């Protein structure tokens, strides 16, 4: 495992809040809520409304947090995200050209992969670490644990099926960190703007990970 600064952050904070929002202000409230709950790694998906502007605002409003982006599908998206100030980059797939651009820009790149072949390919192409997505479809924490024997040198971040209840299991299985989206932002809380409830969700998660 490399000693990339991103890996140090992932090991320190252990959880990434993944925000997909239909308006800029909604995304801002969601980010502020999880930050107040103790989360420091926040991903704004690129298909959120005004994602570039939101990343810029959060960089200013949350100086103690690391604000990145995800759901980057192509090089155009990636260049736009970098210009917006994204501090880390997630993709749902493995794209060698995108990985290379991130390396050239000295930015952490975490491509999505599922099979051992995809995971190794991403790592060999220069990924900072690899997002295992959607992890619940292939066995959840048990799958992460089964990868540790042959692929224990590759840092993994499972998403897609991580919950407040099972997040710790993924770390115990060998994941370097976990990503959560809907589980952190229950629809009933978001719809009524109950940001304190979402902050409590974040606090529960972080307490379970003992950060």
pTM exceeding 0.75 = yes
Could you read off the pLDDT tens digit of each residue along the chain, which spans 211 residues? 556 899 999 999 999 999 999 999 999 999 999 999 999 999 999 999 999 999 999 999 999 999 999 999 999 999 999 999 999 999 999 999 999 999 999 999 999 999 999 999 999 999 999 999 999 999 999 999 999 999 999 999 999 999 999 999 999 999 999 999 999 999 999 999 999 999 999 999 999 998 5
- The domain of 178 spans 5-209
Distances (CA, A) of 41 to 17, 88, 121, 185, 192: 6, 9, 26, 15, 24
Query: Rounded to 5 degrees, what are φ and ψ at 74?
Result: -155, 175
Residues known to be catalytic: 43, 131
Q: How many domains does the chain have?
A: 1
Q: What is the CATH number of the domain that holds 193?
A: 3.20.20.70
């Amino acid at each position: 495992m490399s000693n990339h600064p991103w890996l140090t952050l992932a090991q320190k904070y252990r959880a990434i809040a993944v925000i997909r929002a239909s308006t800029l202000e909604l995304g801002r409230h969601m980010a502020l809520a999880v930050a107040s709950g103790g989360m420091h790694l926040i991903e704004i998906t690129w298909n959120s409304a005004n994602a570039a502007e939101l990343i810029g605002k959060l960089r200013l409003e949350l100086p103690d947090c690391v604000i990145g982006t995800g759901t980057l599908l192509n090089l155009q998206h990636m260049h736009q995200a970098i210009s917006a100030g994204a501090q880390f980059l997630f993709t749902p797939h493995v794209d060698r050209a995108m990985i290379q651009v991130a390396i050239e820009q000295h930015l952490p790149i975490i491509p999505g992969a599922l099979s051992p072949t995809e995971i190794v390919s991403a790592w060999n192409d220069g990924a900072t670490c690899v997002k295992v997505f959607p992890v619940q479809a292939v066995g959840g924490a048990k799958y992460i644990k089964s990868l540790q024997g042959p692929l224990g040198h590759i840092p993994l971040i499972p998403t897609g099926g991580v919950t407040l209840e099972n997040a710790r299991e993924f770390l115990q299985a060998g994941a370097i960190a976990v990503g959560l989206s809907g589980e952190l932002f229950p629809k009933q809380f978001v719809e009524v703007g109950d940001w304190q409830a979402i902050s409590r969700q974040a606090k529960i998660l972080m307490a379970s990970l003992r950060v």
